[in-house]
Structure 1
Amino acid sequence: MTEEEILAEFRAADALLEGHFVLSSGLHSPRYLQCARLLMDPMRASRLASALVASLPRDIRSSVEIVVSPAMGGLIAGHEMGRALGVEAIFLERPTGTFELRRGFRLKPGQKVLLMEDVVTTGLSSGEAIKAVEQAGGEVIAAAAIVDRSNGVAQFDVPFFPLISLSIPAYEADKLPPELAALPTEKPGSRAAA
């Protein structure tokens, strides 16, 4: 899939929003990628996951034994990646503020994990999820996302493979440009800003 084809999927789903958004990271942005809308169409979700799997290096594709994603945003993306790779997909939750496996999910010692996100903004949640996987005995061999909107900020100790990288500005609350500060804020994400 080309970048334009991927953006066309966002537009078709009304998933590329404009306004003043407070992201889960606490940063503010004039654009928001609503991946829940993007992935609500199972055929679209399947196309995007298949395109992402096709872009992974062969050695990564053949090594992944399970996909792990953080809830809430990564659930559908992780499930579709598991389907496209032909492996199981499980998810992490934050019942007390820290990622952990629940619902009887467990990893075998040394099990090769692909960590899957929908959108990466700062990489902090992905980093926390990687630590949780390692604490549960898994070995994260790569991270992936539908969208990397970190503008190069997100760095991991494993290879990172986004389907698309978009340069979308994000600002600290005290450094907003006047045109953004003038707009009412929305918090469309799955969790409140920390």
Structure 2
Amino acid sequence: MLSHKKSLSILKKTNALLEGHFVLSSGLHSPKYIQCAKLLSYPYLAKDICESLAKKIKKNFKKIDLILAPAMGGVIIGYEIGRLLKKETIFCERVDGKFKLRRGFNISKNSRVLIIEDVITTGKSSLECVKLIKKFKAKHLGFASIINRSSKKSLRIKSKIISHLKIEVPTYKKNELPNELRNIKITKPGSRFLK
């Protein structure tokens, strides 16, 4: 397994760990942002992280029929984990603000589905995926992500999350911003803000 220190080194080397004032897809504010797209844009550097996550998933979930990833963030990691585990992998995308399956994707009734994301903070996107799985009368197995940056305060998911790396990063509601964040220009990097 890849060490925490080595993993952070890879995130920094690929400019995936950013500092500033960010509004996350969840609407929470944070002084740090993990842009996994930057990590995954260097497949030769992300390889060890993906293999480590795949091993953890295999250890925790014995029978997976399908991997479901929310677009945009989960698409590449979903593909890579699907390749490593030799599982069909699909993604859902927002249509009028709600996750839907497009492009001929389908979830078979009673299939065992794992949700995979790049980063989980509150779990909002993942829980929206659960609704989609239930709509197709399939079984939701659990959640996996490259980075779990949730806190007890922010996380809505009540079940275990399998992640390659757990990173503690503070998050704040808009009306609870510390002074050091108030004076920094806001960046909104999450895909939920795409029009």
User: Considering the TM-score relative to the shorter chain, is it more than 0.5?
Assistant: yes
Change (3 A) 1:107 1:27: same
Change (3 A) 1:140 1:43: farther
Gaps of 5+ in 1: none
- Distance in 2, matches of 1:169 and 1:59, equals 28
The letter for the 1-side match of 2:13 is: A
Aligned twin of 2:174 = 173
Aligned twin of 1:8 = 9
Counting aligned pairs with the same residue, the percent is 40
**CA-to-aligned-CA distance 1:32-85 (integer Å, 9 cap, x gap):** 00111011122334322210121236351x301111000011100111110111
SS across alignment from 1:118:
strand
SS across alignment from 2:95:
coil
Q: TM-score, normalised by structure 2?
A: 0.92
- Preserved CA contact (<8 Å) 2:122 2:157: no
Matched, 1:124 2:140: no
- Distance in 2, matches of 1:175 and 1:157, equals 25
Give structure 1 regions of 4+ aligned residues with deviation exceeding 6 angstroms: none
Gaps of 5+ in 2: none
- Distance in 2, matches of 1:44 and 1:100, equals 32
- Preserved CA contact (<8 Å) 1:45 1:77: no
Q: How many residue pairs get matched?
A: 192
The letter for the 1-side match of 2:121 is: T
The letter for the 1-side match of 2:69 is: S
**CA-to-aligned-CA distance 1:153-178 (integer Å, 9 cap, x gap):** 42535432111111100101111000
